[in-house]
Amino acid sequence: MFENLTVLNNYVQQFGHWAPLVLFILFVIQAALPVFPYIILAAAGGMLFGFKLGFFLAWFGALCGACLAFWICRLLGYNPLAKWLDNRYGYNIDNHNPTVAFWSIMISRLIPFVPTPLINVAAALGGVSFFVFVTSSAIGKLPTAILYTGLGLALFNAQDINTILLIMAATILFLLGLRFLAHRLSLKGHAEEHQEM
């Protein structure tokens, strides 16, 4: 991870005043087509630009990329993408319930283990309104953007290996806590769905 951060930092820094825009574009690309890890980008944002600007780039860039992917999926249509979802992730879009979309998307964004393309494609093809997609994605992306940007800043400021290990352990515990919370919210959402039936 540290080698990747160094390479990315050096790459982005070479753009000088354009560096924040370059990092923003990388976040958009990562959210639409995740070819490199979000945690590396967000940590680089914290290291290079401090917490405030790094967080904004991580959160808003990921949100813009998700919106771009949503609209591309809508334009491409149902059949080819539904088949891709089923083949790639074993997810049948016909089983998707748009009435619980807000909670489903938000919880999926909270759990950093759910593939971003799965969320974007399922929402676009599952009849989810763009407003619900944007608001749930914006809220769901906040914790990881804060955490990973803060992680990058903390690693940049850390002077010894013990501090770095402590930061990484705290990050893992926080992610496990998010996963537990998301699971609890998911159970609550399913219970509410069954009550409506």
Mean pLDDT of the 33-51 span? 86
3-state secondary structure of 126: coil
Residue given tokens 């354009």 in the structure block: 18
Mean pLDDT of the 1-17 span? 81
Residue given tokens 């809220």 in the structure block: 139
pTM for the full model?
0.73
Q: For 79-102, give the DSSP string.
A: HHHHHHHHHHH---GGG--GGGHH
Percent of the chain at pLDDT exceeding 70: 71
Q: Which two tokens stand for residue 130?
A: 């763009």
Per residue in 146-181, pLDDT (tens digit) is: 888 887 777 777 655 566 667 667 777 876 777 677
> What average pLDDT does the chain have?
79
3-state secondary structure of 2: helix
Mean pLDDT of the 50-64 span? 93
Mean pLDDT of the 88-107 span? 69
Q: For 30-86, give the DSSP string.
A: HHHS-SS-HHHHHHHHHHHHHHHHHHHHHHHHHHHHHHHHHHHHHHH-HHHHHHHHH
To 10 degrees, what angle do helices 38-76 and 130-157 make?
160
Which one, of 66, 124, 68, lies nearest residue 93 by Cα? 124
pLDDT score for 106: 84
Residue 194 clears pLDDT 60, i.e. is over it: no
pLDDT score for 180: 75
Which one, of 130, 117, 65, lies nearest residue 89 by Cα? 117
C-alpha 141/C-alpha 167 separation (Å) is: 20
Residue 65 clears pLDDT 90, i.e. is over it: yes
Banded pLDDT at 67 (limits 50, 70, 90): very high
Mean pLDDT of the 66-78 span? 85
pLDDT score for 152: 79
**Helix (H), strand (E) at residue 29:** helix 19-32
